[in-house]
Structure 1
Amino acid sequence: MLPSRRRGPMRAVLRRVGLAVGLLLLVVVLVYLGRDGYRDGARARMSLLDCLYYATVTVSTTGYGDIVPVSSGARLVNTVIITPVRVLFLIVLVGTTLEVLAERTREDWRRARWRARVRDHFVVAGFGTKGRSAVRTLLRNDISPHEIVVVDPDPAAVAEATAAGVVGVVGDATRRTVLRQAAVERAREIVVAVERDDTAVLITLTTRQLNPDAGIQATVREAENIPLLRQSGADHVVVSSETAGRLLGVAALHPHLSAVMEDLLQRGSGLDLVEREVRPEEVGGPAGAVAQPVVAVVRDDRTLPYDAPACGTLRAGDRLIVARSTEPDPHAGDYEGRAL
């Protein structure tokens, strides 16, 4: 399901019915106003019912021939107005079928074009509470909606995702055919945000087989399932229930610390964590000399605390995780990185 603005089928049908009735009434009015120019084989003068009958058989191209225009004015009206209305009436009648065929062709073409072009995108398996939060975070970090694909077995959830502008696939993410529809073999990152731990393990295992190079970020409810996720190919595993419990414990002991941690998790509200490359002028110096507060240093795929002995001297290729304020600071300089 690609994002698009769609009109409901009942609304489209009612709109066409209303237009057809309007055209029919227009012909009735024209014939009734010029009824003296028509000859009825059974009656001397046409009534309103006769005008309605003539308009119906004429517009529908039935044309029994029992009522005919005889005056020059009536024939002119039939030629200039009623005949084009008849053609338009037929177009309205077959318009629904033509629109369905055209829409199917258009959707098939859009899907084929999308599958041919999509690559280095994000696949989010599961669009529940965790999946929605993951998508919102990606969008707030300037990821284009067209670079996000949501996979969920619930059509309503997928429809909600496409309404936000992302691409949706209705299906079970544990199945290879469904994952291939999401072009998971060309994805950059896969987010496994389903509710069941066993489903998360199966999705991770299947995804890793289809794409050995993508990063896989998964969530589980129980910490005992972390080894299974890692053995299945997950790069990072988040324990949702225990993480929420730790935040609750911190909030009970240190409410202000909990507020700061919650702020760090929400992009664009107060404080953000940003990962960026070390700058040339920072190489060779200590992490404490960096203008922004350094939280950690990423070196050789290892995340080191800012005060670790190994972080005494920054090296070329290091990446810094720094805290920044969302308030504009003219003395802070540019941040080249992605908010976490």
Structure 2
Amino acid sequence: MKLPGHDAIARQADEHLVTHRVELPKKAVERPIRQVGKRLAMALVVLVATAFIVYADHEGYNDNSDESVDLLDAFYYATVTLSTTGYGDITPVSDGARLVNILVVTPLRVLFLIILVGTTLEVLTERTREEWRLNRWRSTLREHTVVVGFGTKGRSAIQTVCAAGLKKEQVVIVDPSSKVIDAATAEGFVGVIGDATRSEVLKRAEAHKARQIIIATQRDDTAVLVTLTARQLNRGAKIVAAVREEENAPLLRQSGADAVITSASAAGRLLGLSVLSPSAGMVVEDLIQQGSGLDVVERPVIKSEVGLGVRETEDLVLSVVRGHRVLGYDDPAVGKLQLTDRLITIVRATPSRQITPDHRPLRQD
């Protein structure tokens, strides 16, 4: 097992220690400069409208300096009134001017203030709105999928499960890089920034309520630590992990992984098979790519198939899952199919074909 010493692991954890937080998918918003420009334009329109309203009834106003109100005085009055400064040097004296101030100028003053402080109000309420969205997300999230690592392996795993019908809202990405999480949320996934070897980070991803956890980290030692932490939090979840070295796979299984995929060995075997038989390599690669060509799926035995032999079914059966055992199609122990069996079959992928939870694809990496 090629694991660094305890001190090296501690240093790695410190390097990846960041302020962990949950990032919900971002909604499309305008650029800040454009938002500010629009608000300023609206405020200017309100100011000009108020000034012309005052000037239209300038005879109903009195200026303490020269007792007359011209266009410049109207703009001055509109400015100090809308900004609630109110020096009192220009005042409405006629009944009509006072009525206009009550019914028109005062609502315009309120609108003007709303426009100017709108950005501030938005900033103040943004945190509350995000907290509300986060609490709502936590309360409704159940039986979801947690993916640790949003690299090549993690992305491929997500594409496979989403092609099988899993909604993006049911996928939570955990990664220590804020840039990676920004990319994940831009694609519609919920992201958690932090080191997944720490239990508080996985708790923020609601890993204790997850149905399945996919571990696709860059390092094997990190995968072991994440698996141990995830299994401690969730005893019932199905944990699938990827490692680079074959010799590290047993340790991952001992740590609590239900299935371990050796990425380097799997790629090497596919390369060797493609050299010996390019056609066979193409078929295997087609089976790995979910949603096109041929797919490998696991489905339950239907009532009409009970009592039949494996070769008597319509689908091409590779294996039979009976209890906790996986029996090959030619295993004499298979005998006749039972209602509680599950079949691993090869089917033709079509755009109209939908995979239900009972017809789920085999996980590939």
Q: Residue 55 of structure 1: CA displacement?
A: 1.5
Residue in 1 that maps onto 2:180 = 157
Gaps (5+ residues) in structure 1? Answer: none
Residues 296 and 31 from structure 1, CA distance in 2 versus in 1: closer, same or farther, beyond 3 angstroms? same
Q: Residue 12 of structure 1: CA displacement?
A: 4.0
Residue in 2 that maps onto 1:24 = 47
Residue in 1 that maps onto 2:25 = 3
Residue in 1 that maps onto 2:152 = 129
3-state SS, counterpart of residue 333 of structure 2? helix
Q: Which has the higher contact order (CA 8 A, sep 6+)?
A: 2
Q: Residue 99 of structure 1: CA displacement?
A: 2.5
Q: Residue 168 of structure 1: CA displacement?
A: 1.7
3-state SS, counterpart of residue 310 of structure 1? coil
Residue 264 of structure 2 aligns to which amino acid in structure 1? Answer: S
- Superimposed CA distance per residue, residues 162-215 of structure 1 (whole angstroms, 9 cap, x where no aligned partner): 333332212111111111111111211110011111111111111111112211
Which residues in structure 2 correspond to 1:149-188 (within 5 Å)?
A: 149-188=172-211
Q: Residue 161 of structure 1: CA displacement?
A: 2.3
Match of 1:276 among 287, 292, 299: 299
Q: Residue 41 of structure 1: CA displacement?
A: 2.7
Query: Mean Cα displacement is larger for which, 46-55 or 268-277?
Result: 46-55
Query: Mean Cα displacement is larger for which, 148-157 or 287-296?
Result: 148-157
Gaps (5+ residues) in structure 2? Answer: 1-22
2:81 matched to 1:53? Answer: no
2:222 matched to 1:199? Answer: yes
Q: Does the 8 Å CA contact 2:197/2:225 hold for their aligned counterparts?
A: yes
Residues 45 and 335 from structure 1, CA distance in 2 versus in 1: closer, same or farther, beyond 3 angstroms? closer
- Superimposed CA distance per residue, residues 308-338 of structure 1 (whole angstroms, 9 cap, x where no aligned partner): 23234323321101111124899xxx99512
Distance (whole Å) between structure 2 residues aligned to residue 233 and residue 112 of structure 1: 30
Distance (whole Å) between structure 2 residues aligned to residue 269 and residue 22 of structure 1: 57
3-state SS, counterpart of residue 290 of structure 2? coil
Residues 141 and 329 from structure 1, CA distance in 2 versus in 1: closer, same or farther, beyond 3 angstroms? closer
3-state SS, counterpart of residue 150 of structure 1? strand
3-state SS, counterpart of residue 264 of structure 2? helix
Residues 73 and 259 from structure 1, CA distance in 2 versus in 1: closer, same or farther, beyond 3 angstroms? farther
Number of aligned pairs? 337
Q: Residue 288 of structure 1: CA displacement?
A: 0.7
- Superimposed CA distance per residue, residues 44-69 of structure 1 (whole angstroms, 9 cap, x where no aligned partner): 65454433322110100111111223
Residue in 2 that maps onto 1:142 = 165
RMSD (Å) for aligned C-alpha atoms = 2.6
Residue in 1 that maps onto 2:359 = 337
What percentage of residue pairs aligned between the two structures are identical?
Answer: 53
Query: Mean Cα displacement is larger for which, 66-75 or 121-130?
Result: 66-75
Match of 2:122 among 99, 108, 117: 99
Residue in 2 that maps onto 1:306 = 329
* TM-score of the aligned structures, taking structure 1 as reference length: 0.89
Residue 5 of structure 1 aligns to which amino acid in structure 2? Answer: K
